[in-house]
Chains A and B, each alone.
Chain A
């Protein structure tokens, strides 16, 4: 009985430390996202002063590895930040459900795959 109590206490402490790490990662990724969004908006405002077509955008971004690296960092920050937040919201509103972690990983996978595919499309080319 005493051992079981100790084990459950140790598990809950291990869970707490893991959640503290996730919190830390979410805050760091939020800082990266803040900078990325600011740069992203600044580029948009600068680039569309005289109107802009998709062709012109791709003309500038294709082969430009600086753009690609910047937007991949953007995608990675989203990949870390959003699923942790989604898991928190789901766990808070559906505490009995075991699906929150599944949906968080699903979102993480979608962001990573679709985001990276979009970056690849900008840098190398793809469907136009």
Chain B
């Protein structure tokens, strides 16, 4: 083993378990995913983790690295290494299946609960809907549309940790992009779904989700938009009717 070896502590187990230390050789331009892959292929084939694209497109390789949720494929070891040590754990706020793989079902179920899906009233026999590219709604939707559902924001959110029923930043960000989709026909149901203490109104606006989002999206801004819209709709009504 070279002198340049990394001391890598990796979580082994499920909800209960322990950190196990591995020595991994350092390479130039090495990513954290490279490190995990090296351990699984060369040192311990029983290590479980999840990845697919390796280039920041799929959102499946997020883990807690040195205490912060990150995409491992786009995180260079040299940028975050603490001396010669790395600590790699599964994402927070999600049940651990095994080692570094978390159960994402709850995360995606909450997208559905927040009505994070499109519902229109046109068929393929109708003409194309016209959405003006520089309209305010389209611009607001654009700001949050690039989310790939990696779960980094959800794992970084203190409110999710405190209130397990909270829909979380990713689901609310998706709801916000759909609220600004002028073609959608289920807006009142969506506003009801994201109202209150399991929805947007419990966000503390600490901005950890925006701080950590690898795509530099701002779920906090979308949630603030939802808070205002839903609050007004509950008191005075909205363009789609009263809640």
Chain B contacts for A95, CB-based, 8 A: 163
Closest to B243 in A: A17
Report how many A-B pairs have Cβ atoms within 8 Å: 51
In the complex, how many angstroms separate the beta carbon of A5 from the nearest chain B beta carbon? 13
Closest to A87 in B: B197
A23 to B223, CA, bound (A): 13
The residue that A20 contacts in the complex, of B162, B163, B234, with Cβ under 8 A, is B234
A113 to B194, CA, bound (A): 36
In the bound complex, do residue A20 and residue B201 qualify as a contact, i.e. CB atoms below 8 Å apart?
A: yes
> Within 8 Å of chain B (Cβ to Cβ): is A27?
yes
Chain A contacts for B47, CB-based, 8 A: none
Closest to A13 in B: B192
In the complex, how many angstroms separate the beta carbon of B62 from the nearest chain A beta carbon? 26
In residues 14-51 of chain A, which contact B (Cβ within 8 Å)? 15-21, 23-24, 27
> Within 8 Å of chain A (Cβ to Cβ): is B231?
yes
> Within 8 Å of chain A (Cβ to Cβ): is B227?
yes
In the complex, how many angstroms separate the beta carbon of A86 from the nearest chain B beta carbon? 14
> Within 8 Å of chain B (Cβ to Cβ): is A91?
yes
Known: A92-B162, A95-B163. A19 touches B197 (CB 8 A): yes
In the complex, how many angstroms separate the beta carbon of B228 from the nearest chain A beta carbon? 9
In residues 229-243 of chain B, which contact A (Cβ within 8 Å)? 230-235, 243
In the bound complex, do residue A16 and residue B231 qualify as a contact, i.e. CB atoms below 8 Å apart?
A: no
In the bound complex, do residue A18 and residue B196 qualify as a contact, i.e. CB atoms below 8 Å apart?
A: yes
> Within 8 Å of chain B (Cβ to Cβ): is A8?
no
In the bound complex, do residue B201 and residue A23 qualify as a contact, i.e. CB atoms below 8 Å apart?
A: yes
Chain B contacts for A12, CB-based, 8 A: 198
In the complex, how many angstroms separate the beta carbon of A11 from the nearest chain B beta carbon? 12
In the bound complex, do residue A24 and residue B232 qualify as a contact, i.e. CB atoms below 8 Å apart?
A: yes
B183-197 toward A: CB 8 Å interface, digit per residue (1/0)?
000000000111111
The residue that A17 contacts in the complex, of B202, B227, B234, with Cβ under 8 A, is B234
A88-104 toward B: CB 8 Å interface, digit per residue (1/0)?
10011101000000000
Chain B contacts for A91, CB-based, 8 A: 197
Known: A92-B162, A92-B163. A16 touches B235 (CB 8 A): no
Chain A contacts for B169, CB-based, 8 A: none
In the bound complex, do residue A17 and residue B195 qualify as a contact, i.e. CB atoms below 8 Å apart?
A: yes
Chain A contacts for B195, CB-based, 8 A: 13, 16-17, 19-20
Closest 6 CB pairs of A and B: A16-B196, A19-B196, A16-B195, A24-B231, A20-B234, A20-B195
Some 10 contacts from A to B, beta carbons below 8 A apart, are A16-B194, A16-B196, A17-B195, A18-B196, A19-B201, A20-B201, A20-B231, A21-B231, A23-B201, A23-B231
